[in-house]
Structure 1
Amino acid sequence: MAVPKKRTSIYKKRIRKNIWKKKVWAALKAFSLAKSLSTGNFKKFFCTKNK
């Protein structure tokens, strides 16, 4: 017989949501850095350009 699950508290839901948001933010920053490095349009990142 199926038993209904207990409801997740708002506190736990907020923690999980914030973890997800941090991962998304890190992925966006990494993508932005890769994009700027590939186009050579970076200013605050030290990288040697290959000729």
Structure 2
Amino acid sequence: MAVPKKKTSKAKRDQRRAHWRRKAGKQAQRALSLGKSVLSGRSSSFVYPTSEEEDEDEE
């Protein structure tokens, strides 16, 4: 027969949410940093097509 599970405490719930938000914040910060480096042209670890390469493909 099915038995009801114990209720999760608010502290445990808040701890999980805080961890999730911290991870999301780190990812957002990384994405912003990568975007800034790509726009400034200093990126060496991110490969993307440039306008020069696109012109060669069209011919």
- What TM-score, normalized by structure 1, do the two folds share? 0.75
**5+ residue gaps in structure 1?**
42-46
Give the RMSD, CA atoms, in angstroms: 2.0
Matched, 1:28 2:2: no
More helix by share: 2
Residues 5-20 of structure 1 correspond to what in structure 2 (within 5 A)? 5-20=5-20
How many pairs align? 44
2:34 aligned counterpart, secondary structure: helix
Paired residue for 1:38?
Answer: 38
Identity of aligned residues (%): 27
Paired residue for 1:3?
Answer: 3
- Structure 1 runs, 4 residues or longer, greater than 3 Å off: none
**5+ residue gaps in structure 2?**
45-59
